[in-house]
Amino acid sequence: VNTTGKPDISREKSAELYAKAQTYFPGGVNSPVRAFKSVYGTPLFIQKGDGSHIWDADGNEFIDFCCSWGPLILGHNNAKVREKVIEVMQNGMSFGAPTALENELAELILKNNKFIEKIRFVSSGTEAVMSAIRLARGYTKRDKILKFEGCYHGHADALLVKAGSGLVTFGETSSAGVPKSVADETIVVALNDKEALAKAFEEFKDQIAAVIIEPVPANNGLLLQEKEYLQYLRDICTQNGTMLIFDEVISGFRVGFEGAAGYYQIKPDIITYGKIIGGGMPVGAYGSSAAIMSNISPEGSVYQAGTLSGNPVAMGAGIAQLSELLRIGFYRDLNNKTEEFVEAIQRFATARNYKFKVFGIGSIFWFAFTDKEYIRKAEDIDASSMEKFKKFHRELLNRGIYLGPSGYEVGFISSAHTKIDLEKTKRAIFDSLDLVFN
Ligand code: PLP
């Protein structure tokens, strides 16, 4: 029973749909976090989105801060993106042959990103990362990869690996079905720990093909790294002939058009993209120098392909969305808006002595129930604080605010979020915090 004065939203239709979905899909969903396992209630089935707002099957309206987990930097149902998609679709949906639209999207990206010279389009972030890892292994002729505890890179076998105990560990699989032999090729270390990194390079000298990192780790809270640490990572990779992969599936086109590479002015060897690049359609990509990309088939010996890669409709959505991002002042306005939002909430929480921090970068934010000044590694997140998030999430839903259904997930602000939206959201957050903490 909710005792907070606001009635729980009605979920009759969503609950009915969920019951049905459970007869079709494992856990009733097609991606696990959607099942609302970490928060109250059953998943909301979304019927439509427009701008910053979404509506569920019961007619509840929310201001949305999940934004499809990041892709919708212009908000839902953006007119330019929609019109371009419809225009492209008039000519058919897929050919499995080259189209001019692929050139157009590639040109938009490569002309405005000094960190890559060639790109290959795929259909998801997972696929982009898998391909980047294969490229790094093919290029260096080494097998091991190194990842960080608390970074997520999609569900490829080699990356569904978590740290064991100790400073440097062979990975342990974090999913059933990942062979131990595969996990053994993945080394896992903590973020923000130079010593662990140096030790790994010592222990596995000349064996590490690639280090992969989310330069803005945003899948396990927002574990912002210092530039100096990322620079150290760049340097140690260079010294050891190891490729540095920036997984920019979230940060790419989000913290700036050039993503985290541009934000920190650090040049990785390979960059992976997803989410925003497809304007809400399924697109991923990886890019690098022309020389390194020449190792990809049919030019080189690293095989990678896709029936729907470079799909024209998806390319159209990407072209329309990225064109908007290149308008002068786009990121300045979006980032300023986010900063004001984050600071206002932090001021409120600090004034009331709540153990609550809002971390932010670009238009990404994360609510953490902590009194730590910084959280830079996974182990510094207090798992028991997630109980507070659970209550917070429920109160916000009851007040028309939709956050991703887990305290480990970040939120996103789009250019469609208005001042009025953010004012309403702040008030809802203040009320909800008062309830969570009192
Ligand atoms: N890499 C990062 C940093 C991600 O955040 C994600 C997804 O959230 C992925 C890779 C996997 O992308 P996808 O879900 O499109 O396969």
* pLDDT tens by residue, 193-225: 999 999 999 999 999 999 999 999 999 999 999
Ligand 1 atom nearest 69 alpha carbon = 8
Other Cβ atoms within 10 Å of 321 Cβ, number = 26
**Alpha carbon nearest to ligand 1 atom 9, residue:** 154
Distance CA 129, CA 196 (A): 23
ipTM here: 0.99
Average pLDDT over residues 19-35: 96
pLDDT value at 418 more than 70: yes
Residue boundaries of the structural domains of the chain: 12-64+330-437, 79-325
Q: Note the pLDDT of residue 55.
A: 98
In this prediction, residue 1 has a pLDDT band, given cuts at 50, 70 and 90, of very low
Interval 62-90 mean pLDDT: 98
124-136 pLDDT per residue, tens: 999 999 999 999 9
DSSP state of 302: B
Beta strands in 13-162, from DSSP E residues, in sequence order:
46-50, 53-56, 61-64, 118-122, 144-148, 161-162
The best mutation among 67, 68, 250 to test binding of ligand 1, ranked by most ligand atoms within 8 Å of the C-beta, falls on 250
Q: Which atom of ligand 1 is nearest to the CA of 124?
A: 15
Q: How many C-beta neighbours within 10 Å does residue 172 have?
A: 16
Give the model's pLDDT for residue 162: 83
Lowest-confidence segment of 55-59, 161-165, 218-222 by average pLDDT = 161-165
Q: Which atom of ligand 1 is nearest to the CA of 31?
A: 14
In eight-state DSSP terms, residue 157 is G
Using the mean position of ligand 1's atoms as its centre, give its distance from the Cα of residue 51 in Å.
Answer: 23
Name the amino acid, one letter, at 155. Answer: H
CB 159 less than 6 A from any atom of ligand 1: no
**What does the pLDDT look like over 139-158, one tens digit per residue?**
999 999 999 999 999 999 99
> 4 alpha carbon to ligand 1 midpoint, in Å?
36
Tens of pLDDT along 247-281? Answer: 999 999 999 999 999 999 999 999 999 999 999 99
Share of the chain above pLDDT 70, in %: 97
- 2: pLDDT strictly greater than 90: no
pLDDT score for 172: 77
Check whether 50 has a pLDDT greater than 60. yes
- Smallest CA separation from ligand 1 atom 7, residue: 154
Compute, in angstroms, the gap from residue 70 CA to the centroid of ligand 1. Answer: 10
266: closest CA among 203, 195, 216? 216
Residue 42 has pLDDT above 70, yes or no: yes
Q: Is the CB of 124 under 6 A from ligand 1?
A: yes
pLDDT at 166: 64
Query: What fold does the segment set 79-325 form as a domain?
Result: Aspartate Aminotransferase; domain 2 (3.40.640)
Calculate mean pLDDT across residues 166-183: 82
Identify the burial level of 6 via C-beta atoms within 10 angstroms of its C-beta, where 0-12 means exposed, 13-18 middle and 19 or more buried: middle
Instruction: Please check the confidence at residue 169 and state whether its pLDDT lies above 80.
Output: no
Q: What is the mean pLDDT of residues 57-86?
A: 98
What is the CA(250)–ligand 1 centre distance, in A?
Answer: 7
Domain 12-64+330-437's class?
alpha beta
